[in-house]
Structure 1
Amino acid sequence: MSWSTDDGAHEGAARAVFADGALSGSHGPGDQVTVGIYADGSRAGLDADVRSEDGVVGWRGWCSCGWRSARAFTRVHLRELEDRANKIAYEESAFAPQWVEDEAHAEWLAHIAPDVAASDVATAAREAAEAARRLDLAVLTARAVGASWDAIGRAAGMTRQSAHERWASATAQPKVDRERAAKRKRA
């Protein structure tokens, strides 16, 4: 199973780890596991190694941005040796047990948290800029049809003077344009 951020910038998974540090790519038929990423960080291509799942020594949290969990989970072949507190997991197959998936996912969520928070800031900033643009346009329209600075200030939650200081230069237009706007309103 893999996880992805809404913007697609991060895709994470609990990947099988081989003794040489390579990470799994996909699980094939039978007990075959392909290498997805080599220990040096290079990605395997179409000619990726196909290995036996017997070579899987554990699992590690992974992200497409290059992040790896600090510590891998170790795979053991005897249930009695499993020790969750020390990240030692019993599993017969190369697929990570559910508790390993859950812990790797939690580590991945902590890894992406700053990017998700920054993305939320960017979204809020875009929305604030759009709201400011709509407010400026509303003030221009209100002034064009004759609204007073007092009425605009009250509507915007500020004083007449503050409204005038904020938007007066943006609403200054030649007298002819004001007269045309007033005529359009009457029409």
Structure 2
Amino acid sequence: MVWVHEEIGGHEGRAVAVLGDGSEPDGAWWTHDGADGRRRAIAIRPACECGWRGEMFPLDVADHEVAEGTADGTGPYGAWDAHVVRLLGDQVPEDVAQAIAGLRRQLAELTERRPLAAAAAAALVEKMGTAVLQRSVSAARTTESWDAIGRALGVSRQAAHQRWSRVLLVPQGNDTPA
């Protein structure tokens, strides 16, 4: 089975068989079961078309979804997905960028026709943006460096630290202003 990440088109991954000598034979991993003279795989690992290889996982030829981890996001699939997420880094997904651009156009048009309504809408966007920014930085602080956070925000490591180091980590919740 080939895995394709929704946010990074064309970046494909798959589980590959690992033989006792560490080599990765061609073909579907589950065909390397030792039957009919084929070499028997000792494990499977995630592989990405970019050349990345992940850690090895136990082989369960009887249940492909369990072995690959596709049902619950664990195992080789979970490791490959984490690899892709690291590649994505602070890249804004295309659908989100398009939604922001569309909102920007709508607010500009509304400003021409109904400036008070545009101001009210912009205030709601500002409140939502502040809440999302706080939650996002709080979430990023659990796994990312201040340097990475600063880069994502377009500021220096020091500026990110000064602004956000004292902000309490906030739980995930609804960002829609009341």
Larger gyration radius, structure 1 or structure 2: 1
- Higher relative CO (Cα under 8 Å, sequence separation at least 6) belongs to 1
Hey, which of these two has a bigger chunk of strand by percent?
Answer: 1
TM-score for both structures, normalised by structure 2: 0.47
